[in-house]
Homo-oligomer: A and B are copies of this chain.
């Protein structure tokens, strides 16, 4: 079953620590491959593709999980926590939580342009 997130072909992300290949669904931190589950990757990808913007929990649950609005769950929170763990020691830097508003992916250091 295809994940809720639909990716553009052949795109990459890279900054000081993190590299993501959206097509191959691969990521690396400081050149070390990250082992991500399907959901973890989808969540990370969505946040990175909206880098710098605060995304609401509702938007995340809708786009990444395919949930309808008005679903009360801590699923997203748990996954954000897992992702922070995977992205240690930069987890707290990359994944910034804004109280009662949402979450934002904060690029680290020198960010290169997304390339196609």
Q: Which chain A residues have a beta carbon within 8 Å of chain B's beta carbons?
A: 24-25, 37-38, 53-54, 99-101
CB–CB B54/A100 < 8 A: no
Q: A105 to chain B: closest CB distance in Å?
A: 15
User: Which of chain B's residues have a CB closer than 8 A to the CB of A38?
Assistant: 100-101
| Number of identical protomers | 2
Partner of A24, one of B37, B54, B99, B100: B54
Q: A33 to chain B: closest CB distance in Å?
A: 12
- In the complex, which residue of chain B has the Cβ closest to the Cβ of A1? B100
Q: A107 to chain B: closest CB distance in Å?
A: 17
8 A-B pairs whose Cβ atoms sit less than 8 Å apart in the complex:
A24-B53, A24-B54, A25-B54, A25-B101, A37-B99, A37-B100, A38-B100, A38-B101
- In the complex, which residue of chain B has the Cβ closest to the Cβ of A24? B54
